[in-house]
Structure 1
Amino acid sequence: MSVNIDSRVVTPGSDDFVDEAWQLKETINRQEGVLKQRYDFFTDAYRRSTVHCYVQEGELIGFAAVRRDGYILFLAVSQECRGEGIGKRLVARVAEDHETITCHARTSNDNALQFYEHLGFEIKRRIDDYYEDGGDAYYLKLGSDVGITGRISELMRR
């Protein structure tokens, strides 16, 4: 990861980077057809979460919004910065504070599913009609029963 990337943590209740996160999410939505949340839902969930951010030259290039129980509400990395380990580092930051990490991913979102599988997440179940638009989701988990600490440590050494 480039030395000119700054790591920031936005605490619950803060609006820091909320507009930038919305814009990054919307760019990904236009490019890939995923991350389809409504503005009010997104901003409300963002403000209730701890958000780990990566900023490069003043621009938000990746973020993970996480609930207190380790559930990742949103994880996004700009297309230009993918493959640089930012997503992996965001998940590792979440793992520092939680024994288990869970999330949902669209069954049609191959990029997300490959990413999570590479990190060691396991699909626990499929949920039909999970999303507002009728899309199906997988519920994924990385945690004590799948060795989160060792797996994340191993990933960070690569």
Structure 2
Amino acid sequence: MSVSLGDLTPNNIKQLKLLNSVLFPEISLSEKYYQDCLNKTEWSQFGYFSDVNVGATSYCEEEIPEDKDNLRVYIYTLGVLPAYRRLGVGSKLLQYIFDNCKENNKIKQIYLHIPTNNESALNFYKKHGFEIKETIKDYYDKSESNRDAYILIKNL
């Protein structure tokens, strides 16, 4: 069984929408978000397990507010369908982001939000060198079970 990555195209954007709706029901992603993904396709990637699309990631680069000369990466989404977790797909998607960050020496950190009750995501990111920076109350407005989020950060 093999893990591989694939590019986002106009022909498979609906797959990304479907995956995100299943993996991240607590967040609303706008049509502008998906258009931005298509405009910067190198910032999105699908994860495949034995040629089956089981996950995806998308991220963007932005200025660091307190350090305008450098950049950071924000991971909008990184998820894998539950039946395919712990098979290396998520790690391969995250490695894709790490590799792209290495190509730009202005990128100094990576960060993201996760629900505070998502222990498996927290453990996954900690295993890859992320740390909790802060907790934000009521970050997820659509969540019924947990509205709070951690900000996780990894300095490069």
What TM-score comes out, normalization by structure 2 length?
Answer: 0.72
Question: Do the aligned partners of 2:134 and 2:151 also contact (CA within 8 Å) in 1?
Answer: yes
Segments of 4+ moved more than 6 angstroms: none
Q: Distance in 1 between matches of 2:120 and 2:10?
A: 28
Which digits, 9 at most, give the CA deviation of each residue in 1:26-82, with x for residues without a partner?
Answer: 3335xxxx5432554653554455102123465421111010242110011011211
Shift in Å, 1:131: 2.1
State the partner residue of 2:84: 81
State the partner residue of 2:5: 7
Question: Do the aligned partners of 2:133 and 2:153 also contact (CA within 8 Å) in 1?
Answer: yes
Q: Distance in 2 between matches of 1:89 and 1:70?
A: 17
Task: Kindly indicate which of the two structures has a greater share of residues assigned to helix.
Answer: 1
Identity over the aligned pairs, expressed in percent? 23
1:26 aligns with 2:26: no
Task: Kindly indicate which of the two structures has a greater share of residues assigned to strand.
Answer: 2
Which stretches in structure 1 are left out of the alignment for 5+ residues? 145-158
Residues 119 and 6 of structure 1: CA distance in aligned 2, closer, same or farther (over 3 Å): closer
The structure, 1 or 2, with the larger RCO (C-alpha pairs under 8 Å, 6+ apart) is: 2
State the partner residue of 1:153: none
Residues 111 and 42 of structure 1: CA distance in aligned 2, closer, same or farther (over 3 Å): farther
| Number of equivalenced pairs | 135
Shift in Å, 1:115: 1.2
1:92 aligns with 2:87: no
1:117 aligns with 2:108: no
Which stretches in structure 2 are left out of the alignment for 5+ residues? 62-71, 102-107
Question: Do the aligned partners of 2:116 and 2:149 also contact (CA within 8 Å) in 1?
Answer: yes
What TM-score comes out, normalization by structure 1 length?
Answer: 0.71
Equivalent of 1:64 in 52, 57, 62: 57
Equivalent of 1:142 in 110, 129, 154: 154
